[in-house]
A and B are shown apart, each in its own frame.
Chain A
Amino acid sequence: MIEAIPLEYYLILSGTIFAIGSVGVLTRRNAIIIFMCIELMLNAVNISLVAFSSFMGDASGQIFVFFVMAVAAAEAAIGLAIVLALFRNKRTIYVDEINLLKW
């Protein structure tokens, strides 16, 4: 009999990486690093989806991860295009210097 690694190990890892990513989004100024931290958070959620999928023996969780990856790819293309357009117009990608829509 082979026991698998307990489910909560994966969930704790996933929560930790999500927290690191969210702290990065809240503290960094560089728009590209904020973008990378969002990718970290998306991946943290993917870990818990795959963990649940494999523990329930249901492939749906892995299908969701497939869709999350497709959305992340679309987000990467759009997000980086926005960063480029921003740099072209404002000459900066530091989010605290971009205050065009600030009330």
Chain B
Amino acid sequence: MALTTIFFLILSIVAIGTAFGTVASKHPVVSAMNLVLHFMMLAGLYLTLNAQFIAVLQILVYAGAIMVLVVFVILLLNLGKEDDVDTRFNARKGVAMTFGAAFVVQILVLFTSAGSFTHEITAESVSTGYVKNLGYKLFTEYLFPFEFIALLLLVAVVGAMVLGKKKLFLERDLQEKSLK
């Protein structure tokens, strides 16, 4: 077995394990820490695919920015343990798990029966994920979506600020009117 395959197997087993940890742990902070580890493993998997830029972004954006935000919100809400995660097993959970298992079986059957797709690693195939390559494509072919995503982020920032206010504008206006 090639060294990269062993590397892939270790990374993917830890990734699936931490994904289970995220879903199944009682405490939200334990879930968040599992998810951080999961994102690290995914960054490693992107490196096995020669996508260096995406691997760095994964660490910076997901493990860095988004998870810090999640942990801060857990801290602000002061959440304790969820007391009845494992004790309550109802029909809804059974249906959800059946659908999940069916999906995995379907994927396994589909991709093991389709045959193996592999390719040779050459200098050209490795260069796909270079920053130079991606930057060129981003600023030529995908320039409009790139500019548009800036607008989306601006809207998200304004929206988050409005939602985070103690009272929404509408409520304050109503109160002022009732005072008059």
The reply to whether B28 and A30 form a contact with Cβ atoms under 8 Å apart is: yes
CB < 8 Å neighbour of A18 from B20, B32, B39, B103: B103
Contact A37 to B163, CB < 8 A, known contacts A4-B119, A7-B118, A50-B49: no
List B contacts of A11 (CB < 8 A). Answer: 107, 111
List B contacts of A66 (CB < 8 A). Answer: 54, 57, 134, 138
The reply to whether A12 and B31 form a contact with Cβ atoms under 8 Å apart is: no
User: Please, how many residues of chain A have a CB less than 8 angstroms from a CB on the other chain?
Assistant: 71
User: Please, how many residues of chain B have a CB less than 8 angstroms from a CB on the other chain?
Assistant: 84
B174 to chain A, nearest CB (A): 15
The reply to whether A84 and B164 form a contact with Cβ atoms under 8 Å apart is: yes
Q: A19-B101, A33-B22 are in contact. List 8 more A-B contacts (CB 8 A).
A: A22-B100, A27-B93, A40-B38, A43-B42, A62-B54, A63-B137, A73-B65, A77-B69
Binding site for A on B (CB under 8 A): 2, 4-5, 8, 12, 15-16, 19-20, 22-23, 28, 31-32, 35, 38-39, 42, 45-46, 48-51, 53-54, 57-58, 61-62, 65-66, 69-70, 73-74, 76-77, 79, 82, 85, 92-93, 95-97, 99-101, 103-104, 107-108, 111-112, 114, 116-121, 124-125, 128-129, 133-134, 137-138, 141-142, 145, 149, 152-153, 155-157, 159-160, 163-164, 166
Q: List 29 A-B contacts (CB under 8 A).
A: A2-B120, A3-B121, A4-B121, A6-B118, A8-B111, A11-B107, A13-B15, A19-B103, A26-B100, A27-B97, A28-B85, A32-B31, A32-B77, A33-B22, A36-B31, A36-B70, A43-B42, A47-B42, A53-B49, A54-B125, A62-B128, A66-B138, A70-B153, A75-B156, A76-B66, A78-B160, A80-B160, A81-B163, A83-B77
